[in-house]
Structure 1
């Protein structure tokens, strides 16, 4: 009450200033509501023409608030403001997801990704920086919800105080809206008569319905498997005796090979890799796969490739990994002729999916003996991870050939600092990388600069591919077969808006029979697939691979 009395006293003492402040506040409230009603969910949608339209939701809202009594009016205005604030938050989430993952925010499934985002920020910005970002984000959301609610309540009170004027104005605006809609009036190609918020709400509701329907449909799809009942002696007969390596290169996308900024460096690395392989007696064939994910969520790409199912969201991932669908490592294990090994330096805690994938022995970041620095999110350089694999598994004597699933992480965003290749005899426990990490660029500087992001991303792919090819040339033998691919394209600010989801995939071997078996795939010779090389959906690879190498379907 004391504050209210002071405010009234100030208003009576300075009436002009009080009126100016009141009308300024009202104008700001109106602008805030109009911006929220027109707000796009993609960064490129922020054009002046988008914000000069006439929103039908504002007209209906004003009409409703005019006729309601005081208490219901305030309640409805508060609810409308809170809802508009929540919709604005979701639009911001859409913008972020479109920027990084090439898709909008899934209201049902994507909440679980915030813990991964927090872990990524900690690795990139440190704990203090992450805490500040989280606090700022939560504060911004709360302030936005509160301010939007107060803005709508204020506008509702305004139309109630000026009932006649508000009624006439609302009627005129309604007539103008109908005429503009009927005549198709546009400014800079944008229709003046807007129903943007209504369409956005309808779209979100449809996405929720589709997600819920998809869960039920996919559960049935996941139970169907062309090779589920194939006897062990009819699986992978064309690869018996071979040491298999399936290796994912983080964010190795089509953009790395075709974008004008990254392509020269990556192309030179692939050409150099081809030459190294040729001298060592290896050959390669390459094509394109369309990943189920984009910009992140690498595990969706891994599971799609290995299971032969289209795993495009977290719910599908949970469904398939809770079942017994046959994976590529699982197929090798089922034969009884291979030991299955996983090398996953990006895994930093328990990983229950090991059983689903059919991996006998798993080496995560805690098992590889690394004593050097982290390189932002990546726990260790790829060269070290491959060296540890050689020391712990591949270089030892085995009763059976190995089937190894390896996930390389050095090309994970934000691509700073980046590791460098060191002489193989100096890798040791990884301490050699201390000076390299200290001399590298800061993650924050690269992540916020699109040009630097592209340059450093290209360098990271060069490093990862070089590390893998050097390992193969050094430690591979006549029975080594390598399949390597990208899990997804890099984020949109690197790959570009509306970039494809294609990633390169290569099969490398010394035994010419291995590549002869896929001659009808029409893949490109070498590590660099031609632009017009075949493009398959990533989930198609499993069945094609199993069939090419002697597996008999038994649904």
Structure 2
């Protein structure tokens, strides 16, 4: 008799029934089966495909290991070197058991891809900002870059560009990992050949290193990835140390305890206007492509101002930034501190370190106003700057077209400044100090506006046909020569608009200080351009310029090549001292 109960008998398996389908093969098993079938049917093609994939994997790994971090070194010679890291990897990975080997190879590949991404960022930042990418501070600037592309090329092109960049980054993280795993498996399957090849490669690397052999200016024996890792670690350490040291420096202020009555007494009764011209750098005056037109404009405007009773003196300041991040140049000039990165900027904005604009506000004798057509969102920095009122892009009544990144032509912004601010007397007989930041010379320098009759500006609609007929940003961005030419035209336009405004509306009490915030990008200014920017002081009252006679600046709007060069951070204290301010230091 069966030991099973009836219910159990019903549940017992029927050996004659059709077997249940087996679970799907795992992906690795499927790949193996596919390769086996391909090899059986097309052995030659299978071997060729396998060899091609291996060669591509090796090329990808070597290219990532020797990838330079600057455009100047980017060339065929850079990728014809022997990476020490590959020699070490070829010696270590085959000695590991399979699972640890695959794990180490995959992690190494991802790190290699990450270093390639950082090298690419270094190249981009070197071209646009004249410095290396800071892995601690600079991620936020990528959002600014996206906004710039959207303003210049449109939303659709920007989305496509961002999608493309993300896809490339993903591939750079995944493909090197797969490549290193494949190569490590190959070396493990052929230990004898791998050992001999690694020994030969190591001997060749040591020989090249000892003899100092080079190709295209780069050493044939490369250890660039290890050096880059060390460099990144050093940058992170330096950034963290700098944050603490700069916080202490920001608490020290030569004029921090100066009484209100002892701040800029020699400018009481004056209408003082500080103006930054976007990307107005030394190259605009000295570069062989841009200088002829810009120099003619500066000389012509110097003569026109002289006929209106104005005279000028000009020199050079070395900016804390290059190619972009204009706010670093603005805050360096106004604070008297060297604000060269975003962390320093945040530290100063959160401090009570006195800005130059704040010095005027503290006197109680000046109204302080900002006109900032480039500001299109909340701007909490207004408090630190000590500005009573700010007119941003949405408060100037502009109804015309945008000129790429620039929200409105400088001439329109200046006319609105005249109508809303300068043309009205401050209350209670006070003086006024204004901060203007002009934007028409911001890259990509297309389309560049042209001057129109001041009485026809209206709400800016007059610029619609001009913008539509102008150059397209995409055409200028891709052409270095045209970028330099259009950059020069934009500087001519901004200088003309500003000085025509002064000639038209300025008076005996008007004091204009204008300067650049930084040099244009390296593609326009050159790979080894200085960080110098022009600065000018313009006034009718001869006593205003007599106060700076000992500065040694050049007469006129165009500074001489050998005119004095100061760090931008020194300007605040020199200016305050020249116009009678008495230092009362705050030592933190």
Same fold (TM over 0.5): yes
Counterpart for residue 192 of structure 1: 220
- Give the deviation of 1:168 after TM superposition: 1.5
Contact 1:66 1:167 (C-alpha < 8 Å) held by counterparts: no
- CA displacement at 1:488 relative to structure 2: 0.2
For 1:538, the equivalent position in structure 2 comes to 568
Structure 2: runs of 5+ lacking an equivalent: 1-24
Deviation per CA, 1:17-75: give whole Å up to 9, x if none.
11101111100111111111111111110233322222111111111101100000000
**2:509 is equivalent to residue 475 of structure 1:** no
SS in 1 for 2:253: coil
Match 1:366 to one of 394, 403, 407: 394
Counterpart position of 1:68: 96
RMSD: 1.0
- SS in structure 1 of the partner of residue 475 of structure 2: helix
> Secondary structure of 1:117's partner?
helix
Does residue 501 of structure 1 match 2:520? no
Runs (4+) of structure 1 moved beyond 6 Å? none
Q: CA deviation at 1:448?
A: 1.1
| Residue in structure 2 matching 1:465, options 489, 492, 495 | 495
The Cα of 1:110 is off from its aligned counterpart by 0.3
Q: Does 1:218 align with 2:249?
A: no
8 Å CA contact 1:410, 1:418 repeated in 2: yes
> For residues 283-322 of structure 1, what are the structure 2 equivalents within 5 Å?
283-322=311-350
1: CA distance, partners of 2:319 / 2:374: 20
* CA-CA distance at 1:194 after TM superposition: 1.7
CA contact (8 A) 1:97 1:105 kept: yes
Pair 1:187–1:473, CA change in 2 (3 A): closer
Greater Cα shift, 46-55 or 107-116: 46-55
In structure 2, the partner of 1:165 is: 193
SS at match of 1:482: strand
> Contact between 2:94 and 2:185, CA under 8 Å: does it hold in 1?
no
SS at structure 1 position matched to 2:391:
strand
In structure 2, the partner of 1:127 is 155
Question: How far apart are the structure 2 equivalents of 1:323 and 1:537?
Answer: 22
Alignment of 1:24-43 (within 5 A): 24-43=52-71
TM-score, structure 2 normalization: 0.93
Whole-angstrom distance in 2 between the partners of 1:160 and 1:376: 56
Taking structure 1 as the reference length, what is the TM-score of the superposition? 0.99
Bigger-Rg structure (1/2)? 2
Question: Which residue number corresponds to residue 287 of structure 2?
Answer: 259
Cα pair 2:320 2:328 within 8 Å, conserved: yes
Match of 2:411 in 1: 383
Does structure 2 retain, via aligned residues, the 8 Å contact 1:235–1:546?
yes
Match of 1:9 among 37, 45, 51: 37
Q: 1:91 to 1:277 in 2, by over 3 A?
A: same
Matches of 1:446 and 1:187 in 2, distance apart?
Answer: 34
What are structure 1's unaligned runs of at least 5 residues? none
Q: State the Cα distance separating 1:3 from its structure 2 match.
A: 5.7
Give the whole-Å Cα distance in 1 for the aligned partners of 2:336 and 2:134: 23
The 5-angstrom pairing of residues 398-437 of structure 1 reads 398=426, 399-437=429-467
Matching residue of 2:260: 232
CA shift, 1:196, in A, is: 1.4
